[in-house]
Amino acid sequence: MKLFLPNGFALDPTSETYSDDVMYIGQEAETNLYKFFEDHGVTRKHGSSVLKAPRELHRAGKLDLKIKAYYAHVYAGTICDPAPSQLNQILAIRG
């Protein structure tokens, strides 16, 4: 889902608004994900089929630009994520 946040994001687990921030960022990512699906002819929107669609698009190299943009945000520091840093480096460019 992080791939679908084109402006990066910042989460601070010590913030009083952390839960609200997570919800807002998640909703933004979900909206952008469904827009990406629509742009690529994917009609799935429910259940496990939603998990299969990004895998298929990734294998086809259709997520490469999103992955590159995500890594650019990571390296530029515009993504502040409390998740362990090794989780930020799990996506490979296919194309």
pLDDT at 70: 86
* Residues sharing a CB contact under 8 Å with residue 36, sequence separation 6 or more, in sequence order: 4, 66
Q: Check residue 9 and give its pLDDT.
A: 87
pLDDT per residue rounded down to tens, the chain (95 residues): 888 998 888 888 899 999 999 999 999 999 999 999 999 988 877 777 777 888 888 889 999 999 898 888 888 888 877 666 666 566 777 76
Rounded to whole angstroms, how far apart are CA atoms 93 and 30? 22
User: What pLDDT is attached to residue 88?
Assistant: 58
The whole-model pTM stands at: 0.79
Q: Output the CA–CA distances (angstroms, integers) from residue 52 to 11, 57, 64, 75, in the order listed.
A: 27, 9, 17, 28
